[in-house]
A and B are shown apart, each in its own frame.
Chain A
Amino acid sequence: MQASGNLDTLMARYQAGDAAAVKALVHAVGPRLYRFFMAQSASRRDADDLLQETWLRIHRVRHTYRPGEPVLPWFYAIARRVRIDHYRRASRTTARERPLEEASDVAAMPPRDETHADDLETLLAPLSDGQREIIRMLKVAGMSLEEVARATSCSVGSVKQKVHRAYRKLRDKMNAIGPNRRSSRGLS
C-alpha cells in the first residue's frame, strides 16, 4: 500500500504539471478508487466509467487540493460525488424509460458483473446506505476513521457511531445465521 506522504508529494507535483507524477498517482490511487466503485454494487463496466469520470473531475479541480492536507479523503470525496451523480442520472434515465418497458420488473441499474463480491453485498444487506458506505471505506478501501470522516463530510464521532451501529446489526445477523451456515456460505 502506497504511503500517504508519498501520495501528498505526487499530488503536489501533479499540480506543478509533472507528467511522471500523474502516471504514478493514477497507478497508485486508481486501483483504490476502482475497488471503492466495485464495492458499491457497480458492474465492471460501470466501475470503468466511474473511474474515468472521477479522474476527469479530479483533473478539473486539482487546484482545490491544499498541499499538506490528507490526500486520500480529497480523492474519495470527489469519487463519492461522481458516484452519487452517476446513480442520480441512472435513476432519472430509468424513471423516464420505465413506462416504455413492457416488463414491470426491469432492473433499476445496469446488470451487475457476476464475478463481483456478492459475499460482501449479502453481508452488508441489512445495513443502511450510509452504514454500508462507511463499512466499505473502512474495511475494503482500508481508510482510517479520520479519512472516512473527511471523505463523507461527517465528524469522526458520527462515523464511529455509524460503525458501532453497523457492527451491532452485522453481529446480530451473523449470530442468527449460525456458524455452520456461515462456513457453508464462505462467511467465516
Chain B
Amino acid sequence: MTTEELDNVLQKAGGATPEVESALLERIADSINESLRPVRPLPPPWVLTCGLALACAVVAVAAAARAGFYGVEKLGLWERALIFSALGILVWIAGKELVRQLIPGSRQNFSGIALLATISASLLALFALAFRDYRTDHFVSAGIACLLTGVLVAIPAALLSWLLLRRGFAVNSVAAGLMGGALAGLCGVTMLELHCANFEAPHVLVWHIAVVPMSALLGALAGWAVQVTSTHFARSSGRASGK
C-alpha cells in the first residue's frame, strides 16, 4: 500500500466525523459577547525575555552584594569573561524557552528535560574548563552550604519571573515549572560564581551545578501542584455550572 493510498484511507475515515450544531456555536458566541471587552496582547517575546534576564541579574547581584563578591574578586579576567558571558547566554536561552512555554502555539526548540540537560552539560563543560584545582576539602559541608544558598537565591528569582509572566498561559504547567526552575537555578549559580571563593573543581562541578536540577525539580513540583489545583477547580466549577 502506498503513502497516497494510506492518505486517502485516513481522509475518508476522518471525514465521517459528525458536524457541530450551529445552535451550540451561537450559544458560545453569545456567552462570549456577554463579557467581551478589549484586551492588551502580551508584549513581544524578546521584551519578556529581556525582563527575565534583567530580573535574574538583579537578584543574583543583590544577593551577592549582601553576601560579598569574594568569588568574582578572586577570578581572573578571562575566567570572568568566560563564565559570566556563558551564564548570560544560558539565561537568555532558558528565558526565551520559558516565554515560549507561556504563549500557546509557540515554536519550541527544547522540551523541559532537553533544556535542563543542555544547561547542565554546558555548565559542566564551562566549569571543567575554568577550574583546575582537583582538591576536595570539606566537600560535603561546603557543598551543601553552596547548594542551599543557590536554591534560596533561586526562589526570589522564580517569584519575580512568575510576576513578569503572570499574564501568560502554560499549556503544560509541569514543563513551564521545570523551565522556570532551571532559569531561577541559573540565577542561583550566577550568584554563587559572584560570591563563592571555593575554586576546587569537584566542589563547583557538583554543588554549584546541582542548583540548576534542584531548582528545576522544585519548579516542576510547583507546576504539578498548579496543574492539580486548576484541574480540581475546573471540576468544581463544572459541577457548579451543572455539567
Residues of A that sit less than 8 Å from B by CB:
15-17, 19, 22-23, 26-27, 30-31, 34-35, 38-39, 44, 47-49, 51-53, 55, 59, 61-67, 69-78, 80-81, 85, 88-89, 92, 113, 115-117, 119-120, 123, 135-136, 139-140, 146, 149-151, 153-155, 167, 170-171, 174-175, 182, 187-188
Contact = CB atoms under 8 A, between A and B. Distances in A.
Interface stretch (B33-41, B53-61, B67-75): B33-41
B76 interface: no
Given A77-B104, A150-B105, A85 B28 contact: no
Contacts of B141: none
A139 B14 contact: yes
Interface string B3-20: 101110111111111111
A123 B16 contact: no
B10 A135 contact: yes
A26 B28 contact: yes
Contacts of B108: 149-150, 153-155
B42 A44 contact: no
B234 A74 contact: no
A38 B6 CA distance: 21
B82 interface: no
A48 B37 CA distance: 25
Contacts of A19: 33, 36
A64 B175 CA distance: 18
Measured as residues with beta carbon below 8 angstroms from the partner, the interface class of chain B is 35 or more
Contact of B14 (A22, A85, A140): A140
Contacts of A26: 25, 28-29, 32
24 contacts: A15-B41, A17-B38, A19-B33, A26-B25, A26-B29, A27-B29, A35-B17, A39-B14, A39-B17, A52-B24, A63-B41, A64-B42, A64-B102, A65-B41, A66-B103, A85-B230, A85-B234, A119-B12, A140-B10, A150-B108, A153-B106, A153-B111, A153-B171, A175-B1
Contacts, number: 174
A51 B39 contact: no
A62 B169 CA distance: 10
B138 interface: no
Report the 9 A-B pairs with minimum CB-CB distance, sorted nearest first: A73-B105, A74-B105, A140-B14, A34-B20, A77-B104, A17-B38, A120-B13, A117-B16, A61-B169
B167 interface: yes
B243 interface: yes
Contacts of A92: 231
A149 B107 contact: yes
Given A27-B29, A89-B231, A123-B10, A66 B104 contact: no
B109 interface: yes
B109 A67 contact: no
Given A55-B32, A88-B231, A38 B39 contact: no
Contact of A59 (B32, B101, B231): B32
Contacts of B24: 30, 48, 51-52
Contact of B104 (A64, A119, A170): A64
Given A17-B36, A31-B19, A139-B14, A153 B9 contact: no
B18 A76 contact: no
A119 B13 contact: yes
Nearest to B5: A188
A99 to B, nearest CB: 19
